[in-house]
């Protein structure tokens, strides 16, 4: 099998992690719940449209490269990830590498989650493992060659992937660093709001500048503080209203994917974290890019 030949690549880091265990009553489950919401794990792994069980998979994810289906990540030992060790979970999020050494497609946003700290990833696993197991078998992705070739991910990663964790910038305030962590690592906001190159990698030079080819081919607006084409004209309160209630300054409500982000993630953050997220967004370099909402005006 092709997969076997890939085991040596990037499998090294697996052995660098300790095997510290934790018990379920040390607060990790509760902390993990907060991280689970902040990282929006439920969305792609739950087939909400068909009333699927939480994290049991089957959610259809359309991309320019084909159709992917979020896998079952409940603690079911056969169909989910119930047999995974803490280290295997950590390696999946930090390096995008499966327990068998094969590479994940970046439709699983590990290029963002790689920025998360070891402690947060471990708490997150404790929470996921406290949820009910569900025996739903995974749906095969429907992706045509060459994009469906997992082996090519080795080269993709070599070209485009830089592993975390995200290092706080000592020259910036704690609030901005916390905001960067919430936006770039956990919230993976760039996975939708940053345009991609022809290989599906994020175009970091235009971070958060919006794209007309978002997930499912939709338009995703520019969220840099550009006055004309971004959110430069929004006050912190207006952003807070969007992130808690989903309402924009025009009185529209965001729908679809952003509606889910508001319901599952931003509205569940503490006020301090929401403020940090807003402060970070306002500190971004403005990029002029006329896509989305602004183009309608
Ligand atoms: C944008 C959609 C999306 C989000 C958000 C997402 N995932 Fe996934 N995830 C996927 C897809 C698609 C795959 C399958 C990737 C593949 O087959 O290469 C996957 C794979 C996984 C796997 C490997 C499962 C296996 O059977 O090998 C784990 C574990 C996982 N995700 C955990 C998480 C966690 C934890 C979060 C939140 C921090 C999360 N995912 C958020 C789409 C997503
Ligand atoms: C799954 C894709 C997706 C993710 C992840 C996502 N967004 Fe969005 N976002 C959208 C889409 C699509 C819209 C447009 C929604 C609409 O107009 O109904 C939007 C709208 C917005 C807007 C309103 C901008 C405007 O001009 O109307 C802001 C602000 C925003 N998102 C911030 C964020 C932040 C911060 C995060 C990370 C916590 C995030 N988004 C994560 C898809 C996403």
Q: Which atom of ligand 2 is nearest to the CA of 265?
A: 38
Confirm if 266 and 277 have CB atoms less than 8 A apart. Answer: yes
C-alpha of residue 220 to centroid of ligand 2, in Å:
7
For residue 166, being part of any structural domain is answered with: no
C-alpha of residue 108 to centroid of ligand 2, in Å:
18
Burial 168-187, CB ≥16 within 10 A → b, else e? eeeeeeebbbbbbbbbbbbb
DSSP state of 217: G
CA atoms of 157 and 201, how far apart (whole Å): 9
Give, using CA atoms, the residue closest to atom 39 of ligand 1. Answer: 41
* Residue 144: predicted pLDDT: 85
Asked whether residue 153 falls in the same domain as residue 248, the answer is: no
Ligand nearest to the CA of 85: 1
For residue 192, being part of any structural domain is answered with: yes
- Which residues in the chain come in under a pLDDT of 70? 1-25, 292-297
CA atoms of 93 and 44, how far apart (whole Å): 15
* Residue 17: predicted pLDDT: 41
* Residue 98: predicted pLDDT: 98
Asked whether residue 76 falls in the same domain as residue 212, the answer is: no
* Residue 5: predicted pLDDT: 35
Asked whether residue 282 falls in the same domain as residue 182, the answer is: yes
* Residue 128: predicted pLDDT: 98
Q: Which atom of ligand 1 is nearest to the CA of 84?
A: 29
Residue at a domain's end among 160, 194, 218: 160
Asked whether residue 145 falls in the same domain as residue 227, the answer is: no
CA atoms of 293 and 82, how far apart (whole Å): 42
pTM score: 0.92
Peptide bond before residue 249 is cis, with ω within 30 degrees of 0: no
Ligand nearest to the CA of 92: 1
Pairing of strands 142-143, 66-69: antiparallel
Other CB atoms closer than 10 Å to residue 235's CB: what's the count? 12
Which among 193, 259, 256 has a CA at the least distance from the CA of 230? 193
- Structural domains counted in the chain: 2
Ligand 2 in reach of 193 Cβ (< 6 A): yes
The crossing angle, in degrees rounded to 10, of helices 86-95 and 118-128 is 120
* Residue 64: predicted pLDDT: 85
Ligand nearest to the CA of 284: 2
Burial class (CB in 10 A: 0-12, 13-18, 19+), 140: exposed
For 123, the token pair is 């708490």
Asked whether residue 254 falls in the same domain as residue 118, the answer is: no
First-to-last alpha carbon distance for the chain, in angstroms, is 54
Its domain, for residue 250, covers 174-296
* Residue 292: predicted pLDDT: 56
Asked whether residue 79 falls in the same domain as residue 118, the answer is: yes
């Amino acid at each position: 099998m092709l997969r076997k030949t890939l085991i040596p690549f990037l499998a090294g880091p697996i052995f660098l992690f300790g095997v510290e265990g934790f018990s379920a009553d040390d607060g990790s489950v509760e902390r993990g719940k907060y991280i689970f919401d902040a990282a929006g794990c439920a969305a792609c792994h739950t087939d909400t449209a068909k009333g699927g069980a939480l994290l049991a998979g089957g959610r259809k994810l359309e991309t320019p490269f084909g159709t992917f289906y979020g896998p079952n990540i409940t603690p079911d030992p056969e169909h989910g990830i119930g047999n995974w060790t803490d280290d295997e979970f950590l390696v999946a999020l930090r390096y995008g590498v499966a327990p068998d050494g094969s590479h994940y497609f970046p439709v699983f946003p590990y290029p963002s989650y790689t920025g998360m700290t070891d402690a947060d990833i471990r708490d997150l696993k404790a929470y996921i493992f406290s949820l009910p197991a569900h025996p739903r078998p995974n749906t095969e992705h429907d992706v045509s060659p060459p994009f469906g070739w997992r082996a090519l991910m080795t080269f993709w990663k070599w070209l485009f992937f830089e592993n975390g964790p995200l290092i706080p910038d000592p020259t910036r305030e704690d609030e901005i660093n916390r905001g960067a962590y919430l936006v770039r690592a956990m919230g993976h906001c760039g996975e939708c709001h940053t345009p991609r190159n022809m290989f599906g990698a994020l175009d970091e030079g235009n971070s958060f500048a919006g794209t007309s080819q978002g997930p499912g081919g939709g338009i995703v607006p520019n969220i840099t503080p550009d006055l004309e084409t971004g959110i430069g004209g929004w006050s912190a309160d207006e952003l807070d209203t969007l992130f808690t209630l989903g309402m924009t300054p025009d009185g529209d409500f965001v729908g679809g994917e952003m509606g889910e982000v508001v319901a599952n993630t931003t509205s569940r953050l503490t006020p301090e974290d929401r403020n940090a997220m807003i402060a970070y967004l306002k500190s971004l370099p403005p990029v002029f890019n006329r896509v989305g909402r602004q183009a309608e005006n």
